[in-house]
A = this chain, B = another copy of it.
Amino acid sequence: MKIIHTIKQMRIWHEEERLKGKRIAFVPTMGYLHEGHLSLVQVAKQDNDSVVMSIFVNPLQFGPSEDYGAYPRDIKRDTQLAEEAGVAALFLPEVLEMYPYYPQLTTIEVQEVSEVLCGASRPGHFTGVTTIVAKLFNIVRPDTAYFGQKDYQQVRVIKQMVQDLNMPLEIISVPIKREKDGLAMSSRNTYLSEEERKEAICLSEALCICRDNHDKGEKNAENLIRYMVQRINKEPSAVIDYIEICDAETLKPLSYVQRQAVVALAVKIGRTRLIDNIIIGGRA
């Protein structure tokens, strides 16, 4: 596995692979890898010749009161996991390599789909995401990029950007990886105390309750949400940020589930903000 620290080196690697006729996949991450990330690599390997993974904790997508400084990092362990997973090149730029001056003048804005859910809770977050992802796409120049469906809205926003700006690559969304008890895998799970870890299953359980009620015939979003709120409020440390049922494509809130919808929620367990989602009313 080639380890790359600079943009220039990354471009050279790209050219070499391209000359060999290789089809390049890209898995951008913020590191502290778990099975969710590794499943992206597995899926990427199936349809491509070389997988590039990037690890970069992007300051631009964190709010001033968020966990940029505390975000877990373990490059040594990540490097080993990436190599074992079959990553061909691991791109590990420093902050100054990606942002020679900070904040940079140019940003990419996506209206509507970035304004709801996490976009409403975390102002500027998706601008930070689209901007860094566009930068990485322009550096790595992959044929396809893979993102986890746990960040459903992120994938939706990135797909919109790629479509609107005619970026020459395909975006693939990969199903959520879960712990045995249902908790969606996330680098932020490491923040949880033992007690909080137990409480954290309220997110996936609430989503299952929603799906069960929906499958039994309840289509009223308000009612579906009420049962989820009840489940989450059973946990003493849980504070709901949002629970919404939205059109899976437009992310506009629905009153009734009549077509494919995403049930998305963000819940703080103690000081840790977790998100999860599920698709109902159609195939995932």
In the assembled complex, which residues on chain B have CB atoms less than 8 Å from the CB atom of A110?
105-106
Q: Report the interface size class on chain A.
A: 20 to 34
> A229 within 8 Å of B by Cβ?
no
In the assembled complex, which residues on chain B have CB atoms less than 8 Å from the CB atom of A134?
165
Given A138-B167, A166-B135, is A109 in contact with B111 using a C-beta cutoff of 8 Å?
Answer: no
Contact call A168/B138, Cβ cutoff below 8 A = yes
Interface residues of A in 75-104 (CB under 8 A from B): 104
CA distance A110 to B106 in the complex (A): 4
In the assembled complex, which residues on chain B have CB atoms less than 8 Å from the CB atom of A108?
106-109, 165
Residues of A within 8 A of B (CB): 7, 11, 104-113, 130-131, 134-135, 138-139, 141, 160-161, 163-168
Closest residue of chain B to A101 (Cβ to Cβ) is B164
CA distance A209 to B109 in the complex (A): 42
Q: Would you give the shortest CB distance from A87 to chain B, in whole angstroms?
A: 21
In the assembled complex, which residues on chain B have CB atoms less than 8 Å from the CB atom of A163?
106
Contacting residue for A165 out of B11, B138, B141, CB 8 A: B138
Extra A-B contacts (5), CB below 8 Å, given A106-B109, A141-B168: A105-B164, A106-B110, A106-B130, A106-B160, A107-B109
Of the listed residues A110, A139, A165, the one surrounded by the most CB atoms of chain B closer than 10 A to its CB is A165
